[in-house]
């Protein structure tokens, strides 16, 4: 990991203490060089992804440092999962304020270590910088798929079924819960939503099933409605889903029952890190069986047709209209 301030010896000591123990792959060279190397698995394409999380935007400054590290990892792992890719490793770049001490950094590296082990995704290096704020964590991740098999956004065809993993809307509702903007929920419901916002659960266990059966896929980071609309646009097709079919957790159902207008937050709020995908009708059952075997739930929510755009219908079949189609930084 390179350093970029006037305290090279101090930074070198921090890197040696906190990050070098995580860089166990031979290609990381013990973080002793300016770069690292990796040999792609035979017959595979590399899949590359980079994403950053910023304090005050993607996480709260008071969030535990280990969870910040895991969130930075998992938003990237989620993208690899949607491409059907197996993780190979990652680089991490940190921009830290001067008041961020070694206690925070130790906890941050504990979070990295946990997910390095859980997802078999080793550290290869990165960069450390000082910033006036806020904290920024940028991860560049790379994975592998057999040649020519990466699942793209472009690939959905008329007649395909639209499916999603897991449950939708929990993280966006969790953010509202953090801001005290939700109706009264039980302690268990509130804790579930808060946990889903704080720590994404990427669906890497379903990556192989996606690669084998999905015609198109992407992870849901900016909201189901907006991300599915992007997939349809790139594929040159139209999509239609029924809001009542969208899988919800018990906590999300409770919030929605108390405040029906929250359907917009659920469908457009983002931070789900589930996967929306399309699959040919004759492959749908096999796809669901493979996903179930991997321990990832899969729910059919709509269909792909000719044309363009995305329509979301309510229980009466009426088209839902939202003020904002998806989360956007701009």
Tens of pLDDT, residue by residue over 193-211, are 999 999 999 999 999 999 9
Query: Residue 159 has which token pair?
Result: 């007649």
| 96/115 Cα distance (integer angstroms) | 21
- Cα–Cα distance measured from residue 236 to residue 156, given in angstroms and rounded to the nearest whole number: 8
**Dist CA 174 CA 227 (whole Å):** 20
Q: Which tokens sit at 259?
A: 């405040």
Structure tokens at 253: 């159902």
Q: Which CATH superfamily is domain 2-146 in?
A: PurM-like, N-terminal domain (3.30.1330.10)
Q: State how far the Cα of 147 lies from the Cα of 202, in Å rounded to an integer.
A: 23
Helix axes 187-198, 170-178, angle to 10 degrees: 110
Return the CA Rg of the chain. 21
pLDDT in tens, 246-267: 999 999 999 999 999 999 999 9
User: What is the mean pLDDT of the segment spanning 19-29?
Assistant: 94
DSSP 203: -
Helix (H) or strand (E) segment spanning residue 45: strand 44-54
* Predicted pLDDT of residue 53: 95
Check: CATH 3.90.650.10 for 161-313? yes
Domain boundaries, the chain: 2-146, 161-313
Least confident of 4-18, 105-119, 152-166, 314-328: 4-18
Q: Supply φ then ψ for residue 292, to 5 degrees.
A: -60, -40
Q: What is the pLDDT of residue 4?
A: 44
Strands 123-130 and 86-96: parallel
Tell me what pLDDT residue 6 has.
44
Question: What DSSP character marks residue 270?
Answer: -
pLDDT exceeds 90 at position 30: yes
Distance CA 141, CA 144 (A): 11
- Torsions phi, psi for 269 (to 5 deg): -75, -30
Q: Considering only CA atoms, which of 328, 298, 299 is closest in space to residue 226? A: 328
């Amino acid at each position: 990991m390179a350093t970029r301030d006037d305290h090279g010896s101090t930074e070198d000591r921090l890197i040696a203490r906190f990050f070098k123990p995580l860089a166990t792959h031979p290609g990381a060279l013990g973080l002793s060089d300016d770069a690292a190397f990796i040999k792609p698995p035979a017959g595979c394409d590399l899949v590359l992804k980079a994403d950053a999380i910023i304090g005050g935007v993607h996480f709260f400054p008071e969030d535990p440092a280990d969870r910040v590290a895991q969130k930075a990892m998992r938003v990237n792992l989620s993208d690899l999962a949607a491409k059907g890719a197996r993780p190979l490793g990652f680089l991490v770049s940190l921009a830290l304020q001067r008041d961020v001490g070694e206690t925070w950094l130790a906890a941050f590296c504990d979070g990295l270590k946990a997910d390095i082990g859980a997802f078999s995704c080793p550290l290869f290096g990165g960069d450390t910088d000082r910033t006036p704020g806020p904290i920024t964590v940028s991860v560049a991740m790379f994975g592998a798929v057999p040649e020519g098999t990466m699942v793209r956004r472009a690939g959905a065809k008329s007649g395909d079924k639209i499916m999603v993993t897991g449950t939708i809307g929990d993280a966006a509702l969790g953010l509202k819960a953090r801001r005290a903007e939700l109706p009264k929920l039980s302690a268990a419901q509130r804790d579930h939503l808060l946990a889903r916002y704080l720590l994404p659960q990427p669906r890497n266990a379903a990556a192989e099933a996606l690669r084998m059966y999905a015609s198109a896929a992407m992870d849901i980071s900016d909201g189901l409605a907006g991300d599915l609309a992007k997939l349809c646009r790139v594929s040159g097709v139209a999509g239609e889903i029924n809001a009542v079919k969208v899988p919800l957790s018990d906590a999300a159902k409770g919030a929605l029952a108390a405040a029906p207008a929250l359907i917009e937050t659920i469908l457009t709020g983002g931070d789900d890190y589930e996967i929306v995908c399309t699959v040919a009708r004759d492959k749908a059952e096999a796809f669901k069986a493979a996903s179930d075997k991997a321990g990832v739930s899969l729910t059919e929510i709509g269909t792909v047709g000719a044309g363009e755009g995305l329509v979301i219908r309510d229980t009466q079949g009426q088209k839902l209209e939202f003020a904002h189609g998806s989360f956007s930084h701009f």
